[in-house]
Amino acid sequence: MLQLENLSVRYGSFRALNDVSLHADEGELVVLLGANGAGKSSIFLTVSGLNKPAGGAIRLKGKEIGGMKPSKIVRSGVVHCPEGRKLFPKMSVMKNLTLGAYVYSRDQVGVRRSLEEVFELFPILRDKRYEAAGSLSGGQQQMVAIGRALMGRPKILLLDEPSLGLAPLVVKQVLDVVKKINENGTTVLLAEQNAFAALKIAHRAYVIEGGRIVMEGESDTLLHDENVRKAYIGA
């Protein structure tokens, strides 16, 4: 589905990503583990077109999408739900969600159907649909962000730290939904600091340090790996 080959990204003279190669196959839930600043967000921002790659290739179903405009990339089926959510705080939940389907706005029937699906996934959003997104709680805002991304009909969903700053109980709810989205057929690439919880729901994982992939493998293998446990799970 998505394939990164020797991807490099620079911010000025700082190399944020160094020859990163990874892939997510159709239907997979792949998790990226790594500390703050390891390069997880850089990967996502580059795949969704907000950053330009300095080298390497990004391929979606074999087609090169590296360096394309973000609007084109969304259209091709890669939807990025960013860290910090990046909602439109003064707009209603409804408006945030419908803008998520911006590239499909000609297809109002389809937009309404996606909206129903999102409301089914997050029933609380139906009750809050006329409230300003910025007035919701952190967990609810995260639901709006995920919902908005789903409105873009992702073939592959890039989820950057969806549990950041949320209460433990809400973290579990959010990750349960991520699992459900994946089970419904969407390929998911998930960045998480909550390594234990993330590995529990993922098929495979990559560990990133200093802009490089330092380890990869099945979730189960990593869950029992001594180094991963020490560095990211704390047990």
Partner 1 sequence: MSSIDLFFQQILNGLTLGSVYGLVALGLTLVYGILHVPNFSHGALYMVGAFVAFFLIVDLGINYWVAMIGAAAVVAILGVLSERLVFTPLRHAPPIHDKIAAIGVLLFLEAVIMAIWGAEFRRMPAPYTEMLSIGNVAAPAQRWLIIAGALLLMAALHLFLKKTIAGSTISALAQNREGASLVGIDASRVAMLTFAISGALAAVAAVLFAPINLVYPAMGHLVIMKAFVIIILGGMGSVPGAILGGMIIGFAESFGAFYISTDYKDIIAFVLLVVILSFRPNGLFTQGER
| Binding window for partner 1 (CB under 8 A); candidates: 77-85, 177-185, 205-213, 224-232 | 77-85
Name which of residues 11 to 40 contact partner 1 (CB under 8 A). Answer: none
Contact present, 201 and 29 (Cβ < 8 Å): yes
By CB under 8 A, name the one of 2, 66, 80, 207 that touches partner 1: 80
DSSP 29: E
| Binding window for partner 1 (CB under 8 A); candidates: 13-21, 66-74, 168-176, 191-199 | 66-74
Contact present, 188 and 1 (Cβ < 8 Å): no
Which of 220, 226, 230, 185 is closest to 200 using CA atoms?
A: 220
| Binding window for partner 1 (CB under 8 A); candidates: 26-34, 91-99, 166-174, 185-193 | 91-99
**Residue 115 is a binding residue for partner 1 (CB under 8 A):** no
Q: For partner 1, which is the closer residue by CB, 92 or 221?
A: 92
Contact present, 77 and 149 (Cβ < 8 Å): no
By CB under 8 A, name the one of 32, 33, 65, 79 that touches partner 1: 79
The backbone region for 153, taken as left when phi is positive above 0, alpha when psi lies in -120 to 50, beta otherwise, is left
* Tokens encoding 194: 């909550």
**Residue 102 is a binding residue for partner 1 (CB under 8 A):** yes
Residues 6+ apart with CB under 8 A from 160: 40, 41, 44, 80, 81, 82, 83, 191
By CB under 8 A, name the one of 26, 27, 71, 227 that touches partner 1: 71
The Cα–Cα gap between 179 and 58 comes to 25
Q: For partner 1, which is the closer residue by CB, 70 or 210?
A: 70
DSSP 233: I
DSSP 168: H
Closest contact distance (angstroms) between CB of 204 and partner 1 is: 25
**Residue 152 is a binding residue for partner 1 (CB under 8 A):** yes
By CB under 8 A, name the one of 82, 139, 147, 154 that touches partner 1: 82
Q: Total binding residues for partner 1 by CB under 8 A?
A: 31
Footprint of partner 1 (CB under 8 A): 48-50, 69-71, 74-75, 79-82, 85-91, 95, 99-103, 105, 134, 148-149, 151-152
